[in-house]
A and B are shown apart, each in its own frame.
Chain A
Amino acid sequence: MAASQEPSGSAGHPVARLLARWFMDGYAMLVLAYLFLPIFVIVLYSFNKPAGKFNFVWKAFSLDAWRNPFQYEALYEAMKLSLRVAATSTAVATLFGTLIALALCRYRFRGSAAVGLLLVLPLTTPEVVLGSSLLSLFLDLNAPTGFTTIVISHIMFSVSYVALTVRARIRGFDWTLEEAAMDLGAPPFRVFWKVTLPIIAPGIVAAAMLSFALSLDDFIITLFNAGNRVTYPLYVYGARRAAFPPQINVLATAILLVSLLALGLTVLWQQRSLRQRGGALPL
């Protein structure tokens, strides 16, 4: 083997390398700026006092929309409906998805590959197909579309996300810990409560947050199955015709802030529980 006289990675002129590096870093920053730009606009325009009914052109700074976020009854109702849908579908989907993830990680069973495939398929099917096919089912059954059908559709796409997220988080879990607890005489329920749950909890919380966010944001599938109910995204969609008040931006900004807060809290909580577990488990 040739002795490495040159320090590693010394090929190319140093100045050229430095310039290339700066170029790549600058490029990455520009892409980040592209991702960030519309969010900045959303927040900025929540402080706008638009000239007409449409909040698309900057006129003057104002706190009016923030003072009266629920000035528009229909927007308020839409937001309430969205939160109810998100809470209901997240509760069910998190339970169903977590159970699937546990089965996939905990047991070897016939058909587990098919289960894995069935979980991925809804994610590789365009939303417009998911939404329209569900509608075709409801039409076939003569089922009226409304709150229930929205929730049904949201659970459908959330189950996959939850199962895949929880599975990814608990894959490395050492299941012999459960056995150790049982060998020490702990009853199954206590084992689950004291050993299994604390370890899978961060994954479940992350999955539930993802599910909630996806539900709150979903437009296409909901449009097909909402009947005459109006969720927050559907209200925004309709607003392009009649009026687009800055309150829409206020609520979008509020969702952003609450999500960031929730994310920050879970990160803190996970770091804490990680530290505690590090001390508690002799691993």
Chain B
Amino acid sequence: MAGTAGGSERHSRVAPYLLIAPGILWLLVFFVVPLITLAQTSVRVTGEAWWDGYVRALSNYGTQFSRSFGYSLLATLIALGLGYPLAYFIAFRSGKFKNLLLGLVILPFFTTFLVRTFAWKTILNDGGPAAWLLRQLHLLSEGGRLLDTTLAVVGGLTYNFLPFMILPIYVSLEKIDRRLVEAAEDLYSTPLGAFRKVVLPLSLPGVFAGSLLTFIPAAGDFINAQLLGSPNQQMIGTVIQNQFLEVRDYPLASALSFVLMVVITIGVLAYARVLGTEELA
């Protein structure tokens, strides 16, 4: 057997498979197989054509689908606009406070997601501090509301997934060799030019990963829409949850879920093509 000398190399034919077996079996049985049963359930229609669930899913819930993708796209763009400068600040300008700031970014993870969203409800309440402040500044009319609006839902989505945007961008910025930036500036590049030609391209893998980690959970989320929005802001996740757990129209519910997954997978692949990164996996 070729390769470096060493006792443990002998086992390398079987050992890796033994090591991965329990975890991979778990993922196969409880991740891959369920996707297959989901597909099966979606076509197990009685009395109608097998595609009936899909017809109803797309004809009745097109609004919720497009709303989900629209909201999460918006939330992803805002998160990028908020997260990139913060990631840049932490990577390049925070000095000895770097670890503290990183800690603050992941602080939201240590409080329950649902409780955080309820906190936004408290903040945006009709009698709450944000509405009061905006009324004082005449930015919100007397009867105007913050809660139950698209703004509240998109703001909540942005908030919840912002750390997932910041951390990958930070990691990719952190890896950049500072001498490249210095070289660009030595060659008379403006700071903005150096950023555009050196820093930004090198941070794209982080932007790619961060955008996916924001967009995907946001598209399937229904907590923000349920707690911060009205029925006018209902997203597809609410419909799936409702059909699965309340109405129990399983073919329709499974079809909705399957369509969501397929659309997202296609979107991810297209996006990976455009940015041309292989950061995943």
Contact = CB atoms under 8 A, between A and B. Distances in A.
B182 interface: yes
Contacts of A42: 111, 115-116, 119
B38 interface: yes
Given A41-B119, A99-B22, A224 B244 contact: yes
Contacts of B159: 34-35, 38
For the residues of B in contact with A, the DSSP-based class is helix
Contacts of A193: none
Interface string B206-244: 000000110011011111000100000000110011001
Contacts of A102: 19
Contacts of A153: 30
A237 B112 CA distance: 11
A153 B31 CA distance: 9
Contacts of B240: 128, 132
Interface residues of A, number: 97
Nearest to A20: B191
B93 A25 contact: yes
Given A135-B244, A136-B41, A156-B26, A128 B237 contact: yes
B254 A233 contact: no
Given A36-B104, A126-B219, A156-B30, A136 B254 contact: yes
Contact of A216 (B30, B112, B122, B194): B112
B216 A232 contact: no
Contacts of B24: 100, 115, 118
Contact of B113 (A132, A134, A217): A217
Contacts of B54: none
Interface stretch (B9-17, B45-53, B55-63): B9-17
Nearest to A134: B34
A45 to B, nearest CB: 6
Contact of B185 (A8, A106, A213, A252): A8
A103 interface: yes
Interface stretch (B78-86, B137-145, B196-204): B78-86
A102 B8 CA distance: 13
Nearest to B104: A32
A137 B43 CA distance: 14
A56 B128 CA distance: 9
Interface string B230-271: 000000110011001100001001100110110011001000
Nearest to A253: B111
A219 B217 contact: no
A31 B85 contact: yes
Interface residues of B, number: 98
A243 interface: no
Nearest to A118: B27
Nearest to B35: A133
B66 interface: no
A236 B118 contact: yes
A123 B264 CA distance: 12
B1 interface: no
B171 to A, nearest CB: 10
A232 B186 CA distance: 57
A139 B41 contact: yes
A255 interface: yes
A57 B107 CA distance: 24
Interface in B26-44: 26-28, 30-35, 37-38, 40-41
A230 interface: no
Contacts of B113: 217, 219, 233
Contacts of A263: 103, 110
B15 A107 contact: yes
A123 B210 CA distance: 12
A122 B31 contact: yes
22 contacts: A8-B186, A9-B185, A32-B86, A32-B101, A35-B105, A39-B108, A42-B116, A56-B125, A57-B125, A128-B241, A139-B250, A156-B31, A188-B7, A217-B113, A219-B114, A220-B220, A236-B115, A248-B118, A255-B112, A259-B110, A260-B110, A263-B103
Closest 6 CB pairs of A and B: A126-B220, A96-B23, A28-B89, A38-B119, A133-B34, A103-B19
Interface of A: 2, 4, 6, 8-9, 11-12, 17, 24-25, 27-28, 31-32, 34-39, 41-42, 45, 56-57, 95-97, 99-100, 102-104, 106-109, 112-113, 115-130, 132-137, 139-140, 152-153, 155-156, 159-160, 163, 176, 178-179, 182, 188, 213, 216-217, 219-220, 223-224, 232-233, 236-237, 240, 244, 248-249, 252-253, 255-256, 259-260, 263
Given A124-B280, A259-B110, 10 more contacts: A56-B118, A118-B24, A123-B213, A124-B212, A126-B220, A133-B34, A253-B111, A255-B110, A256-B107, A263-B103
